[in-house]
Amino acid sequence: MAATPPLAENQSQDRPQVLVLKPPPLFKIFSDSDAFSEKFHLLKAWESPLPLDQFLTTHARSVRAMLCSANGPRITGDIIRLLPSITLVLTTSAGLNHIDITECRRRGISIADAGDVYSEDVADMAVGLLIDVLRKVSASDRYVRQGLWPIKGEYPLGSKLGGKRIGIVGLGRIGFEVAKRLEAFGCSILYNSRKRKDFVSYPFYTSLCELAANSDILIICCGLTEQTQHMIDREVLLALGKEGVIINIGRGAIIDETELVQCLVQGEIGGAGLDVFENEPNVPREFFELDNVVLSPHRAIFTPESFQALSDILIGNLEAFFSDKPLLSPVMDE
């Protein structure tokens, strides 16, 4: 009489397979066994002794869905071509620069992202960085902690947020949440985006230099693509001017970081609040000496609330996919 397979093995055979090349940060916050492994059989490439290409080839015919994240590895055309049965790439991020979108489109592979789950938290961080830079919160905190107040006297004045002209680069889901928050502070909103947004009356600028020249503050909210890499260059920074402030909660490489360092060191712009950097986790040391620069280690999306919402939408997307229902957060062609 044949032995009965263990229950766990039967259960894994009954659950849909989802390929994961590297555990996303979500799995470190919420144990993947609690949510995902109850519903899906996760093929964990990072636990396999096989080289990645052999692991993918082994599962090539059975894998229809892949879960990935911006922390790598990149989902290249080479990886996609090793997976002839895949029809869904699901990412934990809002950005898509780690996915070969062209190859996915060519193959008819659907892409789904994190939807709106990060938008409010990232917008909060953008406003927090801006207030910190303008009102010198972190710098004055250091001044007090170092015992300089009784020695050097009053700390230099900060600047008021209300009434500032805010240029938003990328009026998508996150950019719109930033705009709503800053309107409540009495700021004027201007924007640049791939196309004019019919649902807002904010002034639209096709030229980044013109947007910068007419703004007190630039807030970078767009994604990183070949077109947006280093699009905030020296010309744009100089157009922003000596009193201007730049906030980046998009991706580090959208700004030419070398030029940003030079402009800040030479006093050619007024300050910066940065959650992202071009070569993370390596940050230019020149920033460390500047009191008009506020730094954060790429944490804008990291709250317990956003991770719970992310877990829910990822599971919802996978359940919809394997039930032949519409995805909850599909990435549409622009």
Q: Which of 251, 257, 259, 278 is catalytic?
A: 251
Find the helix packing angle between 137-145 and 119-135, rounded to 10°.
60
Token code pair at residue 224: 């990183």
Q: Is 59 a catalytic residue?
A: no
- The sheet that has 17-20: what strands, in order across it? 41-44, 17-20, 65-68, 88-91, 110-112
d(C-alpha 322, C-alpha 302), whole Å: 28
According to DSSP H, which parts of 4-51 are helical? 7-14, 25-29, 36-39
Q: Which of 38, 280, 286, 305 is catalytic?
A: 280
d(C-alpha 1, C-alpha 223), whole Å: 59
Q: Is 298 a catalytic residue?
A: yes
Measured CA to CA in angstroms, residue 226 lies from 101, 111, 213 at distances of 12, 19, 24
Q: Which of 41, 107, 298, 319 is catalytic?
A: 298
Q: Is 259 a catalytic residue?
A: no
**8 A C-beta contact, residue 243 and residue 212:** no
d(C-alpha 226, C-alpha 207), whole Å: 17
* Tally of residues, the chain: 334
CA proximity to 80, closest of 17, 37, 19:
19
d(C-alpha 129, C-alpha 275), whole Å: 8
Q: Which residues are catalytic?
A: 251, 280, 298
